[in-house]
Structure 1
Amino acid sequence: MTARFVKTQKEMEGRYEDVWALVDESDETTSWKPDADLSLVGQSAPRQDGAARAAGRVRFTVDVKLAGMLHAAVLRSPVAHGKVRSLDLAAALATPGVRGVIGPESELSLTTKVPLLASEPTYAGAAIAVVAGDTLEAARAGVAALALDLEVLPHLVDMQEGLNEQRFTKDPTDETRGDAEAALAAAAVTIEFALDTPAHVQTPLEPHAAVVSWDGDELTAWVSTQGMFAAREELAKAFGLRKDAVRVRTEFVGGGFGAKQGAGFEALAAAELARITGRPVRLVNDRHAEQLDGGRRAATRQSVRLGADRNGTLTAIDADAVVAQGQGGWVMPVLIPAQTLYRCANVRALTFPVKTNLRAQNAFRAPGVMEGTAAFEQAIDELALALDMDPLELRRRNHADVDQVSGLPYSSKQLLACYDRAAELAGWATRDMLRAPQPDGLLRGMGCATQIWWGGGGPPSHATVRLDADGNATVITGIQDIGTGTLTSAQIVAAEELGLPLSHVRVVGGDTGPNVYGPVSGGSQTTPSVMPAVRSAAAKVRTTLLQLAGDVFEIAAEDLDLRDGRIRSSDGAIDAEVTEVTEKLGNATIDGSGSRGPNPDGFVVHTFGCQIAQVSVDAGLGEVRVERIVAVHDVGRIVNPLTASSQVEGGVLQGMAFALSEEFIVDPTTGVPVNAHLDDYKIPTIADVPEIIIDYPHVPDANLPTTGTKGLGEPPIIPTAAAIANAFAHATGRRAAALPLTRDRVLEALA
Structure 2
Amino acid sequence: MTQWMVGKGIDRVDARLKVTGKADYAAEAQVPGVVHAAIATSTVARGRIASLETKEAERAPGVLAVLSHLRAPKLPGIREKTTPQDRYLQLFQDDRILYNEHPIALVVADTLEHAQYGASLVVARYETEPFSIDMNAEAPRAYAPPNAGPHGTTDSHRGDVNAGLAAAKVTVRQTYSTPTEHHNPMEPHASIAVWQGEDRVTIYDTTQGIFGVRNKVATLFGIPKENVRIVSHYVGGGFGCKGSPWSYVALAAMGAKVVGRPVKLVVTRPQMFTLVGHRPHTLQAVALGADGEGKLTAISHDVRSTTSRFDEFVEPSALQTRMLYACPNVSTTHRLVRLDIPTPTFTRAPGLSTGTFALESAMDELAYALKMDPIALRLKNYAETDPDTGKPWSSKSLRECYRRGAEKFGWSRRTPDPRSMRDGRWRIGWGMATATYPATQRPASAVARIRADGSALVQAGSQDIGTGTYTIMTQIAADALALPLARVRFELGDTLFPETPVSGGSQTAASVGSAVKMAGLAVRTKLAEMAVADPQSPLYGRPVAAIDAEEGSLFVKGNRARKDGFGDIVKRSGKLEIEARVDNQEKEDRKRYATHAFGAQFAEVKVDEDLGLVRVTRFVGAFGAGKILNAKTAESQLQGGIVWGIGLALHEHTWRDDRSGRVTTRDLADYHVPVNADVPHIEVITVDEVDPYVNEVGAKGIGEIGITGTGAAIANAVYHATGRRIRDLPITLDALL
Fold-level similarity (TM above 0.5): yes
Aligned pairs for 1:50-65 within 5 A: 50-65=15-30
Aligned pairs for 1:66-105 within 5 A: 66-105=31-70
Match of 2:733 in 1: 743
- C-alpha distance in structure 2 between counterparts of 1:671 and 1:587, whole Å: 63
- Using the size of structure 2 for normalisation, the TM-score is 0.92
SS in 2 for 1:491: helix
1:215 and 2:196 equivalent? Answer: yes
SS in 2 for 1:553: coil
CA contact (8 A) 1:468 1:582 kept: no
Moved more, 345-354 or 123-132: 345-354
- C-alpha distance in structure 1 between counterparts of 2:578 and 2:30, whole Å: 36
Match of 2:78 in 1: 112
1:48 and 2:13 equivalent? Answer: yes
Query: Deviations 1:176-229 (Å, cap 9, x if unpaired)?
Result: 222212221221111122222111100011111110000113100001010001
- C-alpha distance in structure 1 between counterparts of 2:638 and 2:236, whole Å: 17
Amino acid at match of 1:428: W
Displacement of 1:431 after TM fit?
2.1
Displacement of 1:165 after TM fit?
5.0
SS in 2 for 1:334: coil
Which of the numbers 524, 528, 553 marks the counterpart of 2:510? 528
Match of 1:456 in 2: 440
Match of 2:282 in 1: 300
Displacement of 1:411 after TM fit?
2.2
Which of the numbers 226, 235, 240 marks the counterpart of 1:258? 240
- C-alpha distance in structure 2 between counterparts of 1:157 and 1:728, whole Å: 30
Match of 2:524 in 1: 542
Moved more, 631-640 or 489-498: 631-640
Query: Deviations 1:415-468 (Å, cap 9, x if unpaired)?
Result: 222212211221111122996554433111211111222122121x11111111
Work out the percentage of aligned pairs sharing the same amino acid: 38
Which of the numbers 569, 577, 596 marks the counterpart of 2:584? 596
- C-alpha distance in structure 2 between counterparts of 1:450 and 1:269, whole Å: 43
Displacement of 1:325 after TM fit?
2.0
Displacement of 1:338 after TM fit?
2.4
Amino acid at match of 2:580: G
Displacement of 1:403 after TM fit?
2.5
Amino acid at match of 1:421: R
Query: Deviations 1:655-713 (Å, cap 9, x if unpaired)?
Result: 11010111101122322211111111111112222111112222132113321111111
Query: Deviations 1:266-287 (Å, cap 9, x if unpaired)?
Result: 1101111111111111111111
Query: Deviations 1:317-360 (Å, cap 9, x if unpaired)?
Result: 12222212233432121111222211112122233311112211
CA contact (8 A) 2:176 2:728 kept: yes
CA contact (8 A) 2:182 2:279 kept: yes
Which of the numbers 526, 533, 537 marks the counterpart of 1:552? 537
Moved more, 626-635 or 386-395: 626-635
Which of the numbers 309, 315, 332 marks the counterpart of 1:349? 332
Q: CA 1:195/1:580 → structure 2, altered by over 3 Å: closer, same or farther?
A: closer
- C-alpha distance in structure 1 between counterparts of 2:331 and 2:422, whole Å: 43
CA contact (8 A) 1:235 1:268 kept: yes
Match of 1:687 in 2: 677
In structure 2, the gaps of 5 or more residues are 80-87, 149-153
CA contact (8 A) 1:108 1:116 kept: no
CA contact (8 A) 1:567 1:574 kept: no
SS in 1 for 2:137: helix
- C-alpha distance in structure 2 between counterparts of 1:171 and 1:155, whole Å: 26
Q: CA 1:108/1:638 → structure 2, altered by over 3 Å: closer, same or farther?
A: farther
Which of the numbers 422, 425, 437 marks the counterpart of 1:441? 425
Amino acid at match of 1:508: E
Query: Deviations 1:496-524 (Å, cap 9, x if unpaired)?
Result: 1111111110100011123x101100011
In structure 1, the gaps of 5 or more residues are 1-36
- C-alpha distance in structure 2 between counterparts of 1:718 and 1:677, whole Å: 26
CA contact (8 A) 2:538 2:564 kept: no
Aligned residues: 709
- C-alpha distance in structure 2 between counterparts of 1:622 and 1:445, whole Å: 13
Aligned pairs for 1:316-335 within 5 A: 316-327=298-309, 328-335=311-318
Could you list the runs of 4 or more consecutive aligned residues of structure 1 that deviate by over 6 angstroms after TM superposition? 167-172
Query: Deviations 1:47-106 (Å, cap 9, x if unpaired)?
Result: 111111111111111212422212111111122223211012455334332222221353
- C-alpha distance in structure 2 between counterparts of 1:374 and 1:627, whole Å: 20
Displacement of 1:309 after TM fit?
0.5
Amino acid at match of 2:410: G
- C-alpha distance in structure 2 between counterparts of 1:628 and 1:403, whole Å: 32
Displacement of 1:288 after TM fit?
0.8
Match of 2:405 in 1: 422
Which of the numbers 602, 613, 617 marks the counterpart of 1:627? 617
- Using the size of structure 1 for normalisation, the TM-score is 0.90
SS in 2 for 1:87: strand
Moved more, 675-684 or 428-437: 428-437
Amino acid at match of 1:351: H
Match of 1:191 in 2: 172
Displacement of 1:629 after TM fit?
1.7
- C-alpha distance in structure 2 between counterparts of 1:469 and 1:110, whole Å: 48
1:562 and 2:538 equivalent? Answer: no
Displacement of 1:159 after TM fit?
0.6
